[in-house]
Structure 1
Amino acid sequence: MIAAAPRCLHRAHAAPVPKASSQFLVTATVSRTLAERIEDLLPQTQCTKCGYPACRPYAEAIAAGEANYNQCPPGGAEGIARLAALLGKPVIPLDTTHGDERARPLAVIDEDVCIGCTLCMQACPVDAIAGAAKQMHTVIAELCTGCDLCVPPCPVDCIAMVPVTGERTGWDAWSQQEADAARARHDRRIVRLERERAAAVARANARQASRTAQAEPEAREKPEAPAAAHDDPEAKKRAIIQAALERARKKKEEMTSLGAGPKNTAHVSAAVQAQIDAAEERRRRLGLTDAENASQPGNGDKSA
């Protein structure tokens, strides 16, 4: 009788279970900067009350140690406590020079007074105002963050900030979901504005290129005009003197043709001769002397 093989032998010949190769293991690590973690704790109203143009720049300033973490009125006391816990610092009072913690307001436009200037739309950081140029505007209540930024630019003072959360202030009057949605709208707006600016620059460059292309053939066809005399004071002076000399030369030729010559050119007084000498010196400096005029009596040649 043949004894049964031990079970351990069967296990010894069992196919080994392949192990996952380490080269296929990927560890996903998401590293967030301190500024990003701070930004996550801000209410995203983009109100600029902290002294910075938006929540992200304020978060970066806190991370860099350039701003204190108690400058956000919409976040209020709870917002300060959140930031203090993240930064490992004590909870401090709100810096009221940047505003007071308050119930969240809603912008309301008096549509009978609105003139459709679009200035409030341009100021709204989260695109919560709908309207068009010269048309009545209205605020989309669900999107308004109560930032107050639409009020100052209104030329007819038709926007009022109305509290809508009763006694609830700070984060009690605002939720994380609303903050996340406001940040998304703000980021989309920044991208849209940048795209519109780039398109405007491209259109301006295209117009300039078109004008340049049209001007080049005309410039090739037209001879280059000499520089205007009035653009160069010295050239203007020389032109005036040259014109006067030309008139004097023509006058002398006319007198010579009639048998008459210039008078009182000899035996002039010392004062008159000094004036003649000064005039000749100026003509020499300007390069206007010529052999014909230099040979005439009274030209300052003392050897005559």
Structure 2
Amino acid sequence: MSAPLADQIENLLPQTQCTKCGYPACRPYAEAVANGEASYNQCPPGGAEGVARLANLLGKPVIALNPANGPERPRPVALIDEALCIGCTLCIQACPVDAIVGAAKLMHTVVPSLCTGCDLCVAPCPVDCIAMVDVTGANTGWDAWSQQQADDARDRHDFHGMRLKREKEENDARLAAKATAKLQALEAEAAASPEDLAEQARKKAIVQAAIERARLKKEQMAAAAAGTGENHE
């Protein structure tokens, strides 16, 4: 049984996760192409070879790369000027494959072998200390990238997404625990000082409302995740 069309398209993309196609990552672009919502010539990192690969899969003619999405070019790697870096972590947050290491208020650096050349770290930098340096000479598109590099980049991007999801869940759990503890403290306060019931009831209602909002948001996220999983099957 052949894989779904979106999976086959995604397998032909370079997995730089650069958003130049107009979508937030390679997977959404693959789904858009499969659904007929996007053309197969919107991936600059794949270049002309990438367009040809997708055209062959889709049974369509080879067409030129859409210039609106950017030019085919040699693969760049981000380079941080360590003397200018202020340790703001904005580039770390922007990197879709966790290729930048560092900590708040400390110098950051790029791991060249992990960088996909997506450019996404450049714009957020408040001190303009990141440069994109070509590392593949005259080789562009798929000639500047390998299938193994693409596969590795996809794995890192998937891990990046799972890490962010886990960190958010852990933070939400901490906030929920604090809200529950606050509610318990208010209930204990009400039991100890019944003369101020109106004010205590108001505070309790605020905390209960916050807990309920967090519960509903968690259910919505779970439902959305379940829907995404169904779409990938």
Give per-residue Cα distances to partners, 1:53-109, cap 9 Å, x unaligned.
100000000001111000000000000000000000000111111110001111000
Match of 1:145 among 92, 116, 124: 116
- Higher radius of gyration, 1 or 2: 1
Say whether residues 1:223 and 2:195 are aligned partners. Answer: yes
Q: Following the alignment from structure 1 to structure 2, what is the Cα–Cα distance between the partners of residues 169 and 60? A: 25
Give the deviation of 1:218 after TM superposition: 1.5
1:192-231, CA deviations, whole angstroms, 9 ceiling, x for partnerless residues? Answer: 111111000000000000001001122233335679xxxx
Taking the aligned partners of 2:169 and 2:79, their CA distance within structure 1 comes to 33
Partner of 2:7: 36
Q: Residue 161 of structure 1: SS of its match in structure 2?
A: strand
Candidates 156, 163, 166, aligned match of 1:195: 166
Per-residue Cα deviation, 1:38-59 (whole angstroms, up to 9, x for no partner): 0000000000000101000000
Q: For residues 46 and 216 of structure 1, what CA distance do their matches in structure 2 show?
A: 49
Is structure 2 residue 152 aligned with structure 1 residue 181? yes
- Higher RCO structure, 1 or 2 (CA under 8 Å, sep 6+): 2
Aligned mates of 2:31, 2:38 — CA distance in 1: 9
- 4+ residue runs over 6 A deviation: none
For 2:19 and 2:124, how far apart are their aligned partners in 1? 15
Which of the pair is proportionally richer in helix? Answer: 2
* 1:103-131: CA deviation from partner (whole Å, max 9, x where unpaired): 11110000000001111001000010111
Q: 1:136 aligns with which of 85, 101, 107?
A: 107
Runs (5+) with no aligned partner, structure 2? 200-233
Task: Work out whether 1:79 is the aligned partner of 2:79.
Answer: no
RMSD of the TM alignment (CA)? 1.2
C-alpha distance 67-226 of structure 1, shift in aligned 2 (>3 A): closer
CA deviation map 1:145-176 (0-9, x unaligned) = 00000000001100000111111000000010
Kindly provide the amino acid, as one letter, of the partner of residue 72 in structure 2: E
Amino acid in structure 2 at the alignment position of 1:134:
K
Q: Report the AA paired with residue 110 of structure 1.
A: D
CA distance in 2, matches of 1:106, 1:81: 25
Letter in 2 for 1:128: A
Q: 1:89 aligns with which of 35, 60, 75?
A: 60
Equivalences for residues 106-125 of structure 1 within 5 A: 106-125=77-96
Aligned residues: 198
Query: Structure 2: how far apart are the matches of 1:187 and 1:34?
Result: 19
Structure 1, unaligned runs of 5 or more: 1-29, 228-304
TM-score by length of 1: 0.64
Aligned to 1:169: 140
The separation in 2 between residues aligned to 1:194 and 1:111, in whole angstroms, is: 30
The one-letter amino acid of 1:114's match is C
> Counterpart of 1:16?
none
**Structure 2: distance between partners of 1:190 and 1:226:** 45
- Residue number in structure 1 paired with 2:38: 67
From the superposition, tell whether residues 59 and 213 of structure 1 become closer, same or farther in structure 2 (CA, over 3 Å): same
